[in-house]
Amino acid sequence: MAQCHIAQVAELEKICFADPWSEKSIASELENPLSYWLVALEGSTVAGYAGSQTVLGETDMMNVAVRPECRRQGVAEALIEGLIAGLKERESHCLTLEVRDSNAPARALYEKLGFLEVGRRKNYYRNPGEDALILRKEWTL
């Protein structure tokens, strides 16, 4: 992700999430040495993005989103696979994420990519309130 993508990522946040990140918060990720964000482009349009932060070799995927008209075309899968490849180069050994319990399409994708359920966060999401499943994928360096 580069500075020129921030406005589109913020727009996509508003489309995809009830509690979106602000443009300022997204921009701050470019300055954070712990952060690693990728965008998928369709021409000059951001079709999707994935953002993460790594501390001591363990990475948390904070957000992943794909434009509604670009879904079911492999964009999220490519972003997550690209994220994992980049994280391996940065010497991270795992990726953890939260997903809404009711988000069956996302859960199916994460299962396909080898993520395992390792826990649950009660009432993690707002608007509407819902539990989050904690999923994790580990690899050797």
Determine how many CB atoms are found less than 10 A away from the CB of residue 13.
Answer: 19
Please measure the distance between the N-terminal and C-terminal CA atoms of the chain and give it in whole angstroms. 25
Q: Which of 77, 110, 125, 138 is catalytic?
A: 110
Q: Provide the 10 A C-beta neighbour count for residue 111.
A: 12
Q: Catalytic site residue 98?
A: yes
Which is the catalytic residue, given 13, 29, 36, 98?
98
Which residues share a beta bridge with 40? 48
Distance between CA 72 and CA 98 in Å, rounded?
20
Separation CA 57–CA 1 (nearest Å): 21
Short-list 68, 64, 70, CA closest to 42: 70
Active site (catalytic) residues: 98, 110
